[in-house]
Amino acid sequence: MRKLIEYDHLSIDGRFSGDDWWAAQMQVPPNDEHMAYQLRLLENAAGLVLGRATYETFSTTWPDMTGPLADKVNALPKYVASTTLTETAWNAEVLPGDAVEAVARLKEAGDGTLLKYGNGPFSRALVEAGLMDEIHLGISPFVAGSGDSLLSGIGATFMNLTGVTDLGNGSLVLAYTPAK
């Protein structure tokens, strides 16, 4: 069975989007340690799981990127949760029917990992359905002050800290698994 791992970039105050967040995040460029961490996450990846908004953003930027990380991301199949997309590119397909049920089937379909980027209602639904095996939070050294909060609206969900990685630029990655 495949493992589903989500990776998110956050500010210290738990924000992952918004104009102030993006402006601040641009001041914390990825370094070699960050790239190595991402490559380790992708090492056993069988595909990427993305919500529509993340897919639309990624599909306009990643295909033009080069290097080991881009090569891996671009080559992987992408599975997109959307009720509105009718066409995809970039080695992607829209998950059929109920996206949460489709991810459950993807997890049962083989070995390796499915890596999910982006956060929002789809992430909440996957956590609430018990399908998320790990959440890796890249915490950047700034307070955004506004923007969307990670997993906003979800009920109390307890997690176990399973790893801490210092990326050397003031950022940390905290890895969690759901408590059982």
Query: Residue 56 maps to which CATH number?
Result: 3.40.430.10
Question: Which tens digits make up the pLDDT trace of 88-115?
Answer: 999 999 999 999 999 999 999 989 999 9
Range 34-52 average pLDDT: 95
Q: Return the structure tokens found at 27.
A: 């001041």
Q: How many domains does the chain have?
A: 1
Residues in the chain: 180
Q: How do residues 13-25 score in pLDDT, each as one tens digit?
A: 999 888 888 888 8
Report yes or no on whether pTM surpasses 0.85.
yes
What is the C-alpha separation between 10 and 16, in angstroms, rounded? Answer: 5
Structure tokens at 12: 């210290």
CA–CA gap between residue 3 and residue 172 (Å, rounded): 22
Cα distances (angstroms) measured from residue 108 to each of 7, 80, 111, 117:
21, 17, 8, 20
Question: Residue 116 in contact with residue 126, Cβ under 8 Å?
Answer: yes
Per-residue model confidence as pLDDT tens digits over 105-162? 999 998 999 999 988 889 989 999 999 999 999 999 999 998 888 877 888 889 999 9
Decide if pLDDT at 8 tops 80.
Answer: yes
pLDDT at 178: 92
- pLDDT at res. 23: 87
Contacting residues for 126 by C-beta, under 8 A, at least 6 apart: 4, 6, 100, 103, 116, 132
Directed axis angle between helix 99-108 and helix 121-128, to 10°?
60
The domain in which residue 124 lies consists of 3-178
Which of 89, 105, 109 has the alpha carbon at shortest distance from 97? 105
pLDDT surpassing 90 at residue 36: yes
